Amino acid sequence: MVNASAFARPQAGTAAPRTADAEPDTRISPAGKLRSATSAVMDAAARLNKSQTWQATKATSDNEALVQAVSDKAAPGDYAISVDAVATAQSTTSASFSSLSTVVGIGTLNLQLGTWNTSTSTFATNPNWPKASVTFGPKDTSLEHIRDKINAAGVGVIATVVSDATGSRLVLRSTSTGSANGFKAEAEPVNKGDDQAAQTLAAMGFNPAQVSGGAALTQAAQDARLKIDGREVQSAQNLIEDEPSGLTLRLNGQARGSATIHVETDTQSMAKDIQSFAQAYNNMVSQLDQSDQSPGDSSVLDARAIQHSMQDAFSPNSADAPSSSSSLRAIGLQLEADGHLSVDTARLNQALEQDPRKVEQLFDATGGKEQSSGIAARLLALPSGQTTSTDAPSANDTSAPQQAETPSSAGALYRQRLLEQYVASSTHEDENAMTANEA
């Protein structure tokens, strides 16, 4: 349904409201818009001038229930993955209390993070986590208050309360997976002479080496263990960035299994970067057409320099064979009569599938090592002061600091999604339990 008030005229003497989206646009001058558009062209050209853009790969798993993968660095080929164990966080469950409001007792819960041996008889403190104590006063003696006090302390352990027909139990869980993030919890009552209070409070703690009748271990902390092409890998997390192979793997919780990761050249990412360059260039041309053509305007001069360089590259009489008009048309690029750059997606994809190296040469014919006639290298080689690139040094400017190459846009996005999924999955269960308890 259309909101009629959106089209209503403002009353006399009142100013028309401005939306948040429209307000910044009205404050940017045409010259500023053109400078921004020109800078975007140079940034897109810089990406096409990087060797890693043309070395992008993508990875797929034949068993995503076991492991997902992303790759920007791995060489094309197949990688055998064998998972022996996934990373887990320690969790313990106390004895059952009759209700949430059961008085547990006044005292202190001393917490340490570290590593238990396989029989949970010895414990080695994690030096990266200081010892912590959570004190429960006269108003903190119910399971709900104890849970809240532990969670507010930020000690590497999260508490939830689970209730069912048999009663309520306090569940403690490490906030991080990995064998070095297990925990020891020792309850110390204020009134040590009160055996019943001491026993009730001790039911929340976990230290099998010293205390009996404490919480039960429901899951031990452990590292992920797997093999990549027979090479053993161990990680405290289930999101693993493996430098030797160049793979980023996400283990999805299945305890054991095997998978094959297939890595191939990511021509889709290359096509996307070329299309982004064309879109940035077309936006600059549109901004240039709308700008005030004042003599000496630096924003106009910069845009004109880029435009002339592009026109020269597409000229049939160009002296540079790698960037000739016919070669560019062969991969689906055409400079139209109105000055805009068109991209034939089907032709471009076909050219990339057949020979991505040949396409690369049209943008950077020598990989930036020598004088290049590629389109991207031409733009980056324009004299200083004739472009407004924010991060695009000339391919031949040895005085400019070299920027670190970045992963392909598609790979970086998928890597981020893997990370977000990993973080979400590792906290989802705790958040649901806490929400249910607070309701």
Nearest residue to 73 via CA among 86, 55, 89: 55
> What average pLDDT does range 102-117 have in this prediction?
86
Between 27 and 232, the more confident residue is 232
> What average pLDDT does range 283-296 have in this prediction?
83
d(CA 96, CA 213): 12
pLDDT tens-digit readout, 217-241: 999 999 999 999 999 999 999 999 9
d(CA 177, CA 239): 11
* Distance, C-alpha 18 to centroid of its chain: 35
- pLDDT at res. 231: 97
Confidence of residue 41 (pLDDT cuts 50, 70, 90): very high
Q: What is the edge-to-edge ordering of all strands in the sheet holding 57-61? A: 57-61, 257-265, 77-85, 224-228, 231-235
> What average pLDDT does range 363-388 have in this prediction?
70
Measured CA to CA in angstroms, residue 15 lies from 9, 12, 143, 301 at distances of 10, 8, 57, 38
Does the pLDDT at position 426 exceed 60?
Answer: no
Q: Is 426 exposed, middle or buried (0-12, 13-18, 19+ CB in 10 A)?
A: middle
- pLDDT at res. 10: 39
Does the pLDDT at position 311 exceed 80?
Answer: yes
Does the pLDDT at position 400 exceed 70?
Answer: no
pLDDT tens-digit readout, 408-425: 555 555 566 566 555 566
- pLDDT at res. 128: 85
Q: Calculate the average pLDDT of the chain.
A: 80
How many residues does this entry show for the chain? 439
> What average pLDDT does range 331-349 have in this prediction?
94
Does the pLDDT at position 390 exceed 50?
Answer: no
Residue found under tokens 């958040």: 431
